[in-house]
Amino acid sequence: MVYIAGLHMPNSQLIATWTTSASFLAHFLVAREFSSLNKTTPSLSGPLKLHTTPRTAIAATIVHTLAIFGPPATYLVGVLTNGLRERPWMARCSLDRLIGYLSGRQTIVKGDTKDIVRAVSAALLLLVFPRVMSAVNKAIGDQFAPLGVRTKARVVKTGPYAIVRHPSYAVGILANAFLSIPLWSFVPLIASVVTTTAFIVKLRIEESIILRDADIGTQYKAYQRTVRKRLIPYVW
């Protein structure tokens, strides 16, 4: 039992409230920065060049947005509307069930240890995810362009873009999968597979648009030869 602001809060309620709130806040901070970046970049590097955006790319964007932000939002709403307790369906989606299915063991951590793991991982997600994504966004700077090329375009080759060509996607996938620990659920793992698939579809379309661009297409092709991996260093 924990006492907060005069309220008696069982550990289970505290863990449910903290992990879902921290997870949602981490994703909210990232979404807010992307929104801000999308508003400020046109004044620095010009608007997006006119082109026809493939419906597949639009669909992929919708899918990966829902897959990344859906789980933390759904879990937070579920807890807040259930007296700060996890709902029964959350228990049915517990990592314990996945671990039991794969290994025959009930869980890899129990009781207080599990609570500590969840609480610490939620804190890490809140502290690290927005900062890492902010560093990636700082590297791309005024060249941030959702599905297109700016009129004052240039190829970004520094920072994380010297390691993989789509670092923001890589960070998003990692955060998506890591979310399974604070929420102690296999739902984010499934979501991360969906996210990865959507990103792969989308990045292929993005790169084809850039390569066809008269201003930076040749530069980007040279960049592809220098930085060969798209998402995972040394792998793909």
Q: What is the 3-state secondary structure (H, E, C) of 98-146?
A: HHHHHHCCCCCCCHHHHHHHHHHHHHHHHHHHHHHHHHHHHHHHHHCCC
Amino acid at position 164, single letter: V
Strand locations in 168-223, DSSP E? none
Domains and CATH numbers, the chain: 12-226 (1.20.120.1630)
The alpha carbons of the chain give a radius of gyration, in whole angstroms, of 20
DSSP letter (8 states) at residue 150 = B
How confident is the model at residue 175, as a pLDDT? 97
* Residue 106: predicted pLDDT: 67
pLDDT in the model for residue 5: 45
Residue-by-residue pLDDT tens, the chain, 236 positions: 444 444 444 577 889 999 999 999 999 999 999 999 888 888 888 888 867 678 999 999 999 999 999 999 999 999 999 999 999 999 999 998 888 888 777 666 777 888 999 999 999 999 999 999 999 999 999 898 888 888 999 999 999 999 999 999 999 999 999 999 999 999 999 999 999 999 999 999 999 999 999 999 999 999 999 999 999 998 98
pLDDT at residue 183 in the model:
97
pLDDT at position 7:
45
DSSP letter at 186 equals S
Task: Identify the three-state secondary structure at position 90.
Answer: helix
Q: What share of the chain is helix, strand, coil (3-state, %, to 5)?
A: 70, 5, 25
Read off the tokens for 131: 């900062």
Q: Determine which helix (DSSP H) or strand (DSSP E) holds 4, and give its type and residue range.
A: strand 2-4
Query: What is the model's pLDDT at position 212?
Result: 92
